[in-house]
């Protein structure tokens, strides 16, 4: 051990002599301490900021919880008030026995209302049927009026058919007698022919238009050349005798059929008067055809034929065709014997009276138990 210690002691002075100027390591140690102090300051500042933030957060949470507690207190107060109101209402409610009695009364009232609604529906249904039957009676009245005033078979048939449809809708055995009379009236109306008054009126109007084209009984003589005396006239003009012959030849005619009656020619004004008389006769026939006046219709057509045969040439095709057509139109009926609907109307009215007697019963709903009670 002594040997080992000696070299160390000998080497110790050799090491200490060159290590006199180590100044740089001391400066480096000072810088490290300063850096460590800065880091410790920054960490302390961060810890302080974090602590401040935690304190503010805790304060905000405390305020929020305080507000929530206040809201909960308000809600508890409102619930307490509601509980008090409910308690007061419960105190005002009736007991179990009274509630059972009211429930029984409500059930009875509902039953009475149901019975009343059923009776009301039956009354309304009967009134609707009465309205329909009144409509059938009105249709029969209109049909009778159309037959008596206008002799309109077609309209009366449609009206009576409508009344029969209404009676069939009722499906009532008591309406058998009324429907029987309506069926008889329908059969009578269907077997009656409706005169075509409109067609007669229009055809007579067409004949009136043709009266303007009718000519006189015989054509007027018109000189197409010189007369016989004009051939012997001197000079280049007509002589006095030729002028006289031309004038008198208009009123003289020669008929080689002497066995026929010779009638005078119609002048211009006379022809207009005859045409006017014929037109008036046809117009009168038109009026009679529309109004169903058979006597006036036949008389007017007879006068028109007399005017045609007495004042116009019967051999003229227009006059001949018109006379033949007037003879055919005089055979057309303008009036018709209409069936009487008084019996049918009386049968329907009797059925309505019987129905009213059967339906009119007093209605007395039993609602007395409900009227004496009060909720």
Q: Which residues of the chain have pLDDT under 50?
A: 1-19, 23, 218-221, 223, 226-237, 258, 262, 265, 267, 362-375
Kindly give the interhelix angle for 317-330 and 294-311, rounded to the nearest 10 degrees: 160
Q: What is the pTM of this model?
A: 0.48
Handedness of CA 159, 160, 166, 169 (dihedral sign): negative
Q: What are the C-alpha distances in Å from 314 to residues 58, 256, 269, 320?
A: 138, 18, 21, 6
**What's the rounded Cα separation, in Å, for the pair 334 and 294?**
6
Q: What is the pLDDT of residue 144?
A: 92
Q: What is the pLDDT of residue 296?
A: 92
Domain ranges across the chain:
106-193+338-370, 195-220+265-335
Q: What is the pLDDT of residue 362?
A: 46
Q: Percentage of residues in the chain with pLDDT exceeding 90?
A: 21
Three-class SS string for the chain? CHHHHHHHHHHHHHHHCCCCCCCHHHHHHHHHHHHHHHHHHHHHHHHHHHHHHHHHHHHHHHHHHHHHHHHHHHHHHHHHHHHHHHHHHHHHCCCHHHHHHHHHHHHHHHHHHHHHHHHHHHHHHHHHHHHHHHHHHHHHHHHHHHHHHHCCHHHHHHHHHHHHHHHHHHCCHHHHHHHHHHHHHHHHHHCCCCCCHHHHHHHHHHHHHHHHHCCCCCCCCCCCCCCHHHHCCCCCCCCHHHHHHHHHCCCCCCCCCCCCCCCCCCCHHHHHHHHHHHHHHHHHHHHHHHHCCHHHHHHHHHHHHHHHHHHCCCCCHHHHHHHHHHHHHHCCCCCCCCCCCHHHHHHHHHHHHHHHHHHCCCCCCCCHHHHCCCC
**What's the rounded Cα separation, in Å, for the pair 122 and 113?**
14
Of the candidates 295, 293, 276, 297, the one whose C-alpha atom is nearest the C-alpha of residue 285 is 297
Tell me which residue has tokens 């209402």: 89
Q: What is the pLDDT of residue 254?
A: 59
State both tokens at 332.
Answer: 């057309």
Q: What is the pLDDT of residue 179?
A: 92
**What's the rounded Cα separation, in Å, for the pair 175 and 294?**
39
pLDDT in tens, 132-183: 888 999 999 999 998 888 888 999 999 999 999 999 988 888 889 999 999 9
Q: What is the pLDDT of residue 121?
A: 67
Question: Torsion angle of alpha carbons 40, 46, 52, 58, nearest 10°?
Answer: -120
> For domain 106-193+338-370, is the CATH number 1.20.120?
yes
Query: b/e per residue, 281-306, with b = 16+ CB within 10 A?
Result: bbebbbebbbebbeebbebbbebbbe
Q: What is the pLDDT of residue 242?
A: 72
């Amino acid at each position: 051990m002594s040997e080992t210690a000696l070299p160390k002691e000998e080497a110790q002075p050799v090491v200490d002599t060159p290590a006199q100027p180590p100044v740089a390591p001391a400066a480096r140690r000072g810088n490290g301490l300063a850096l460590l102090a800065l880091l410790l300051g920054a960490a302390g500042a961060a810890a302080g900021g974090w602590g401040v933030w935690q304190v503010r957060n805790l304060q905000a949470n405390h305020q929020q919880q305080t507000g929530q507690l206040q809201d909960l207190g308000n809600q508890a107060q409102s619930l307490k008030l509601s509980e008090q109101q409910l308690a007061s209402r419960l105190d005002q409610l009736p007991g179990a026995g009274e509630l059972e009695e009211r429930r029984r009364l409500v059930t009875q009232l509902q039953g009475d209302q149901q019975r009343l609604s059923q009776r009301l529906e039956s009354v309304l249904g009967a009134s609707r049927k009465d309205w329909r039957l009144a409509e059938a009676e009105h249709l029969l009245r209109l049909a009778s009026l159309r037959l008596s005033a206008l002799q309109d078979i077609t309209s009366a048939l449609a009206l009576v058919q409508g009344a029969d449809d209404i009676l069939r809708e009722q499906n009532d055995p008591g309406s058998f007698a009324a429907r029987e009379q309506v069926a008889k009236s329908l059969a009578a109306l269907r077997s009656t022919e409706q005169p075509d008054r409109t067609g007669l009126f229009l055809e007579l109007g067409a004949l009136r238009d043709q009266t303007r084209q009718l000519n006189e009984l015989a054509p007027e003589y018109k000189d197409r050349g010189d007369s016989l005396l004009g051939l012997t006239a001197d000079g280049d003009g007509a002589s006095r005798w030729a002028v006289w012959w031309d004038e008198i030849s208009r009123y003289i005619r020669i008929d080689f059929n002497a066995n026929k009656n010779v009638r005078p020619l119609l002048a211009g004004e006379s022809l207009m008067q005859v045409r006017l008389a014929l037109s008036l006769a046809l117009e009168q026939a038109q009026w009679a055809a529309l109004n169903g006046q058979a006597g006036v219709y036949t008389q007017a057509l007879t006068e028109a034929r007399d005017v045609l045969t007495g004042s116009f040439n019967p051999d003229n095709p227009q006059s001949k065709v018109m006379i033949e057509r007037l003879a055919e139109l005089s055979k057309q009926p303008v009036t018709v014997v209409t069936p009487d609907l008084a019996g049918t109307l009386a049968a329907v009215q009797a059925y309505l009276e019987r129905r009213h007697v059967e339906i009119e019963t007093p209605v007395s709903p039993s609602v007395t138990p409900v009227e004496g009670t009060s909720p």
